[in-house]
Amino acid sequence: MRINIAIDGPSAAGKSTIAKKLAEHLGYVHLDTGAMYRCTALKAVRNGIALDDEQGVCTMLENTDICLMTDGTVFLDGEDVSKAIRTDEISLAASAVSKMPQVRADLVARQQKMAEAKGFIMDGRDIGTVVLKDAELKIFMTASPEARAERRYKQNIEKGIPTSDVETIAEEIRQRDYEDTHRAASPLKKADDAVEIDTSYMSIQEVCDAILSLAEPFLVREGSNE
């Protein structure tokens, strides 16, 4: 039996990077749920749907295909939008659509369906509390806004994504933290049974090793077919 691993935490805490590496190591599938909210936001913006028009966004979603490939490529209705969903404008728009309960219900249902087969590492804000309440391992990953802004800035430069300076990114991160933790629908919060890891001063490898050692008891059981 394979397990599911839930990784939640604020934006730019390194969730996707870590989840991707762990998935490669374990031969699991990484599912970046933030990319689904970003796709929803991108399509709404492109179609001129107001970011407070919940019904409009929901109706749009009914005819929207979001496909997350194992190599990290994101397809929206067949178009590769991997870069287009990472701009600062779409980050803010994604935060707006993620407040809509009906949008969340639609995307959560898609995520739960995908994870039925087990062997998933899913990262987001509500994975341990809503999407995969029964995940065998739940991680709550945090880092200071300054550390996260530095990382996001470097990542943007490396990926050729237009970027603001570090201080502006840190300010946006603080704003999104506030919005993610104070919204009414599934606010970002640590599940009671999640293990918190502050990655501010940890390398990617150190975080992976910490999670792997927490997963080990389950993986051993998996190997012995118990």
**What values do phi and psi take at 54, rounded to 5?**
-60, -45
98 binds ligand DC (CB under 6 A): yes
153 binds ligand DC (CB under 6 A): no
3-state secondary structure of 226: coil
Q: How far is the CB of 223 from ligand DC (least distance, A)?
A: 30
107, 64 contact by CB (below 8 A)? no
- How many CA atoms within 13 Å lie on the side-chain side of 114? 23
Task: Determine the Cα–Cα distance for residues 155 and 129; give it in Å rounded to an integer.
Answer: 28
State how far the alpha carbon of 53 is from the alpha carbons of 94, 96, 108, in Å. Answer: 13, 10, 19
Cα angle 114-117-119, degrees, rounded to a multiple of 5: 95
Which uninterrupted H or E stretch holds 198?
strand 195-198
The footprint of ligand DC on residues 164-223 (CB under 6 A) is: 176, 180
Q: How far is the CB of 97 from ligand DC (least distance, A)?
A: 8
124 binds ligand DC (CB under 6 A): yes
142 binds ligand DC (CB under 6 A): no
Tell me whether residue 185 or residue 219 sits nearer to ligand DC (CB atom).
185
Which has the closest alpha carbon to 36: 105, 88, 89?
Answer: 105
Q: Which of 4, 82, 95, 199 binds ligand DC (CB under 6 A)?
A: 95
Beginning with the edge strand found earlier in the chain, give each strand of the sheet holding 5-8 in spatial order: 29-32, 120-124, 5-8, 137-142, 195-198
Q: Which of 4, 21, 28, 33 binds ligand DC (CB under 6 A)?
A: 33
Binding string, residues 42-81; x marks residues near ligand DC by CB under 6 A:
----------------------------------------
| Number of chain positions touching ligand DC (CB under 6 A) | 13
40 binds ligand DC (CB under 6 A): no
Tell me whether residue 28 or residue 111 sits nearer to ligand DC (CB atom).
111
The amino acid that residue 11 corresponds to is S
22 binds ligand DC (CB under 6 A): no
Task: Determine the Cα–Cα distance for residues 133 and 15; give it in Å rounded to an integer.
Answer: 18
Q: How far is the CB of 134 from ligand DC (least distance, A)?
A: 16
Segment near ligand DC (CB under 6 A); pick from 94-102, 156-164, 202-210, 217-225: 94-102
Q: How far is the CB of 88 from ligand DC (least distance, A)?
A: 11
Which parts of this chain interact with ligand DC (CB under 6 A)?
11, 33-34, 37-38, 94-95, 98, 124-126, 176, 180
